[in-house]
Chains A and B, each alone.
Chain A
Amino acid sequence: MNPLLPFLMAGDPSLEALPQLLAEAKALGLEAVELGLPHSDPIADGPVLQAAAHRAIQRGATPRRVLQSLAGITDSPDVVLFTYLNPLLQLGAAELKRLLAPTPVRALLVVDLPFGEEPAFEAELRAAGYPMVPLLAPTTTLDRARQILAERPDPGPGAPFAQRFAYVVARLGVTGTGQGLDLKPVSERVADLLRMTSRPLAVGFGLSDPRSLTAIRRLGATPVIGSALVQELAGGHGLREVLAPRLVDDL
């Protein structure tokens, strides 16, 4: 099982640092990283990722530059591009596919694109090898979860984690650490979902301390670490330094 899914904000601390960060993540044995495309109006993000996106945009990390900076990188885990819809729509499916082709991006997580709202766009990207990650929130009923998992189907055990996993949102609200996540509801949710699907699950929103990460792994899911990592990297710490202790189970 993939032990951790880290989130990086493209362009923060800098686009130049990105190849090194990806190489370090690969050296840690991680199968995938989420890479955030900085957006002007990140409605699903808390203060840390809002500020990181703002800094990245100020430094010129446009969607096109981010994807160009990923071109040719092979020493990297699979990349899941975490983004809002509008920048992708403005590029258009054809140009987006052209930009993605030489990159390690293997899937797209589009926060504000429910299945069915842009069917042609989504189908074209999926056919080109860029499936959309299904998102399941605390408000998602189990019936709807079943529907979502069918609409954005598991390509099967032969496919990499990045293209198979479903993202389980651990709590209401936006990204960010906040105070003490109550793990009971998400534990029940993960157990319900694991009975429903054989695909891997990643759990994110509000996780950062080794104990919560361990708890998620023990449920049989991959924890996501986002805001806490972005904060540390912005403060000058190294990726390995932040993540290595969090790969060891805290019992």
Chain B
Amino acid sequence: MTLGFTLPDRFGSQALGGCYAPETLLQPLLDLEAAFRSALDDPAYRAELKGELRHFVGRPTPLTPAPRLAAQLGLKALFLKREDLTHTGAHKINNALAQALLAKRMGKHEIIAETGAGQHGVATAAACARLGLSCTVYMGVTDMARQAPNVARMRLFGAKVEPVEAGQGTLKEAVNEALRAWAARCDRAHYILGSALGPHPFPTLVRTFQTVIGEEARAQILEQAGALPEVVIACAGGGSNGLGLLVPFLGDTLKRIAVEAGGHGPDLGEHAARLDGGRMGVLHGCKTLLLQDDHGHTAETASISAGLDYPALGPELAALILDGQVEVRRASDEEALSGARLLCQAEGILPALESSHALALLPTLAAEGAATVLLGLSGRGDKDLSTYQSRSGL
């Protein structure tokens, strides 16, 4: 432990994760780990976070039975964990708010964030407005175009949205730019990373703040159904939603599934499915499964969903997958659109394109004989209306 961290910074049998950060960020990362540990030990921090999650975010979110959709698919029961009903409309707020409170505790009043679909950016902008922190969000220009409502929401909350022109103009480039901005302002700014990736301690921090999803869901399904489901399923971009739902079920005998973006084809550059196409590599400060070319350059990715359009899986989720604790599936753009249509028509709920990748797997799970399924509905689909309108006439 030469770097001086005290929490475990590697995951699984292949020791994924780590802290592959430029020297400038080492001390800020050490300080962050120390602040995180002290906050978790502090009843005042925990009480404030709990209060904000309840009164501002709207937790606990419901676990909604979806009987019509279940019957249509031939499942005995389907339950939806409704992160789409949180304030700002996705699970991202759980982490953004907790980190914003942490930043305030550290005396840092400037916040930097990256965003892909814009959900983490909106959540961070909202948390900053709520807590009186200034907020700059880096977002790729491609994502700004396809998630325009979220750009407007961030600006309404007083955040500065910095367009990132480089590369494909998606989440990877936004993270690059946020890391650069943090290196320049780390003496006064905190970087709220939105997914369970990046250098230690970010993957652990984000996962810790997101497992509230699975903890609530586990208690709720036991109360409502009297038993655990056979399958728990969530979509996975970086992995904050996947880990948040699945980790609290790790000790249970059931099938845990993470769904990656299959994009529009099987070749490198046409999808964001890291398990099939990825190799071990280092990007954005951690070692994990990474889509890359033969030279160790990060590959391009493609997905209809901005939130899943990222070349690396968070290290802890990748480790759980490689070690057989979590199964990976993929859903294509078209399948995701079909998944969204199913939920809209059977239950009157408009899912985010990210969550639709998990929904897309339901017919397959039913065909495989699953009876009861708990699905993480990570976000609502309002931000994706223009895509739904142009691609499927919803």
Residues of A participating in the B interface, judged by any CB pair closer than 8 Å: 39-46, 50, 54, 57, 62-64, 84-91, 111-117, 135-141, 144, 147-148, 151, 169, 172-174
Contacts and interface: CB of A to CB of B under 8 A. Distances in A.
A86 B23 contact: no
A172 B282 contact: no
A95 to B, nearest CB: 12
Contacts of B21: 112, 114
B297 interface: yes
B176 interface: yes
A228 B141 CA distance: 28
A139 B186 contact: yes
Contact of A141 (B2, B27, B183, B296): B27
Nearest to A110: B20
A116 B10 CA distance: 13
B360 interface: no
A85 to B, nearest CB: 5
A80 to B, nearest CB: 16
Nearest to A83: B296
Contacts of B284: 41, 43
Contacts, number: 120
Contacts of A54: 166
A164 B373 CA distance: 60
Given A62-B295, A116-B2, A137-B22, A144 B183 contact: no
B298 A41 contact: yes
Interface in B1-50: 1-4, 18-28
B158 to A, nearest CB: 25
Nearest to A148: B23
28 contacts: A41-B172, A41-B297, A43-B22, A43-B176, A44-B180, A85-B20, A86-B282, A86-B290, A90-B281, A90-B294, A91-B296, A112-B21, A114-B21, A116-B2, A117-B18, A136-B23, A137-B22, A137-B26, A139-B23, A139-B28, A139-B186, A144-B4, A144-B26, A151-B2, A173-B24, A173-B180, A174-B180, A174-B184
B230 interface: no
A179 B27 CA distance: 25
Contacts of A44: 22, 24, 180, 183
A148 B186 CA distance: 21
B179 interface: yes
Nearest to A57: B297
Contacts of B280: 89
Contacts of B184: 172-174
Nearest first, the 9 A-B pairs at minimum CB distance are A173-B184, A87-B296, A90-B296, A116-B2, A40-B297, A137-B24, A139-B27, A135-B23, A86-B296
Contact of A86 (B4, B24, B28, B283): B283
Interface string B150-170: 000000000000000011000
Tell me if A's interface is mostly helix, strand, loop or mixed.
Answer: loop
B19 A117 contact: yes
Contacts of A113: 20
Contacts of B297: 39-41, 57, 86-87
Q: Which of B23, B27, B183 has the most CB of A within 10 A?
A: B23
B108 to A, nearest CB: 14
B382 to A, nearest CB: 32
B296 A140 contact: no
Interface residues of B, number: 40
A139 B23 CA distance: 8
Nearest to B22: A44
B285 interface: yes
B24 A112 contact: no
Contacts of A88: 296
B276 interface: no
Contacts of A46: 180
B191 to A, nearest CB: 12
Nearest to B187: A172
B176 A90 contact: no
A169 B285 CA distance: 19
A112 to B, nearest CB: 5
Interface string B321-354: 0000000000000000000000000000000000
A148 B184 CA distance: 22
A43 B296 contact: no
Contact of A172 (B167, B186, B285): B186
A59 B184 CA distance: 30
Contacts of B183: 44, 172-174
Contact of A41 (B2, B26, B176, B185): B176
A136 B22 CA distance: 10
B94 interface: no
Given A63-B295, A87-B296, A116-B1, 8 more contacts: A44-B22, A64-B295, A90-B281, A90-B294, A90-B296, A135-B23, A140-B26, A151-B2
Given A44-B183, A63-B296, A114-B19, A86 B281 contact: yes
A135 B183 CA distance: 14
Contacts of A57: 297
Nearest to B285: A112
A172 B187 CA distance: 9
B356 interface: no
Nearest to B298: A40
Contacts of B292: 86, 90
Interface in B270-302: 279-285, 290, 292, 294-298
A71 B295 CA distance: 18
Nearest to B200: A117
Contacts of A87: 295-297
